[in-house]
A and B are shown apart, each in its own frame.
Chain A
Amino acid sequence: MLPFVFEWHWDLGHVVFHGGLWYALSILGIGMTYVSVKTYFDVKRGGH
């Protein structure tokens, strides 16, 4: 799952599989962070 786990190998299989997983998780994480931060500032500004 992560490069420091003992069975990790720097081969195509690991990079593609785990790269895809982390890519998807990053989009979800960044999206939710953006929404949370924007909400914080919107509420602080009294925008809603």
Chain B
Amino acid sequence: MDSALIPKGLKRCPFPQFALWIGAWSFIMLWAAIAAVIAWAYGLNTTNLNDYFGFGAWITADLAIIALGAGAFFTGFMRYVLGIDEFKNILNYAVIIGFICYSSALAILALDIGQPLRGWFIFWHANVHSMLTEVAFCISCYFTVLAIEYIPIILENRQLDKVPTLHAFSHNLHHIMAVFAATGAFLSFFHQGSLGGVAGVLFGRPFAFRVHASIWPTTFFLFIFSAIACGPCFTILVTRLTEAITRKKLVARNVILKLATVSGWLLVGYLSVKMLDTLYWAAVTLPKMGVNFFDMYPQAPFNLWILIAELGICGAIPAAILITKKTRENEFLLILAAILNCTGICINRYVMTVQALALPVMPFDKFYNYVPNWIEWITSLAPFAFMAILLSLSYRYLPIFPQEKELNP
């Protein structure tokens, strides 16, 4: 039925099977759309966000998705700026994953601000003393970069490529893609950092506040480091999942292993700096603020186990697996390490927002917990459905894996 659109020489599943797959994910998207309409129509009081928890599931999802999407800019940076040629075989997919992550993050932000019709205020009436302004500027610009990077991939579709103007446009865009990739890398480094900066400057929240280097708290640098350490692992994870679903080899093993090695060493670097930062925070910053380290981990779910889970189970273990050749080459351990690495980053983004708000800071404050309601859950999980749909459409109709023919003779 749609065989004219499928890349030449590549096999895809029958159209009815594909339609059923897309339909199943679309159901989740529809459910999320209904939740979004309810939140917009009746306001944020339809969620479990309140005056105490202004940041909740949406911000956690936002920060986590943006960190996981860092594989796009960092793979582009390694390919175009550092000139590591092997990554051209996974770059298209990394760009699409990044595009999905950033568009999802922007969609969730449109919900979180409550009144999306006033979303443009942050640009027009910008508060230049706010880290969030920098985040808004950089995310919007970087999303534009990702859209520009996605255009030539779309234009490689068999039918679109036959149109001379589109073919020429795609060809010319490829020629200067390094400029866009470098701009994207610059924007990404800054907004990943500023997202961390938002937490680190909260001097009224001892859990989040960190020592500053000039105007930047250490969380600024830690967020950049953690994003580039986990982004490539998320790209590996999605690629391997795609291979499992399609039952095909799509990217050569040496490319995956190289990306895993890079991710592993970055994770080692991040964990080293993070440990030092945590020690300084526990030994110097917190006592200066009149609290001690154990006050920060008073009770479940925010007890010491969450720190052990973040830095030990989901930090040190995947780092050890990824930097050791023998364990990295074991498929099961590689996937396990990628899952743990991504989970660790999600825990980090969760504690830096929700735990920071949950801990009482005033004498009259109590310890409150926060559990998202169904509107927040479904809209936060919708990016997975969106990812499944867009990746499926891209895989079916676009030649996104340059090695697919060679690996599946």
Contacts and interface: CB of A to CB of B under 8 A. Distances in A.
Nearest 8 interchain pairs by C-beta: A13-B128, A48-B168, A17-B128, A39-B169, A42-B168, A35-B172, A39-B168, A24-B141
A28 B138 CA distance: 13
Contacts of A38: 168, 172
Given A24-B141, A31-B180, 20 more contacts: A1-B125, A13-B128, A13-B129, A14-B128, A17-B126, A17-B133, A17-B134, A21-B137, A24-B137, A24-B183, A28-B144, A28-B183, A31-B148, A35-B176, A39-B165, A42-B168, A42-B172, A43-B165, A43-B168, A47-B168
27 contacts: A1-B123, A1-B126, A5-B124, A7-B125, A13-B128, A13-B129, A16-B128, A17-B133, A17-B134, A18-B128, A21-B137, A21-B141, A24-B186, A24-B187, A25-B141, A27-B179, A28-B141, A32-B148, A34-B176, A35-B169, A36-B169, A38-B172, A42-B171, A42-B172, A43-B165, A48-B164, A48-B167
A46 B382 CA distance: 45
- A interface, how many residues as a size bin? 20 to 34
Contacts of A20: 134, 137
A24 B148 CA distance: 14
A21 B133 CA distance: 10
B190 to A, nearest CB: 8
Contacts of A1: 123-126
A27 B172 CA distance: 16
Interface of A is mostly: helix
A31 B126 CA distance: 26
A28 B145 contact: yes
A21 B173 CA distance: 22
Nearest to B142: A24
Contacts of B126: 1, 17-18
A31 B168 contact: no
Contacts of B148: 28, 31-32
Contacts, number: 67
Interface of B: 123-126, 128-129, 133-134, 137-138, 141, 144-145, 148, 164-165, 167-169, 171-173, 176, 179-180, 183, 186-187
Interface of A: 1, 5, 7, 13-14, 16-18, 20-21, 24-25, 27-28, 31-32, 34-36, 38-39, 42-43, 47-48
The prevalent SS among residues of B at the interface is helix
A21 B223 CA distance: 21
Contacts of B141: 21, 24-25, 28
A4 B294 CA distance: 52
A27 to B, nearest CB: 5
A48 B167 CA distance: 7
B154 to A, nearest CB: 15
B177 to A, nearest CB: 9
A7 B134 CA distance: 18
B183 A27 contact: yes
A14 to B, nearest CB: 5
A28 B180 contact: yes
Nearest to A16: B128
Nearest to B145: A28
B176 A31 contact: yes
Contacts of B168: 38-39, 42-43, 47-48
Contacts of A27: 179, 183
A43 B164 contact: yes
Nearest to A47: B168
B56 to A, nearest CB: 28
Contacts of B124: 1, 5
A47 to B, nearest CB: 7
B241 to A, nearest CB: 32
Tell me which of A16, A21, A25, A36 has the highest count of chain B C-beta atoms within 10 A of its own C-beta: A21
Given A1-B124, A28-B141, A35 B164 contact: no
A39 to B, nearest CB: 4
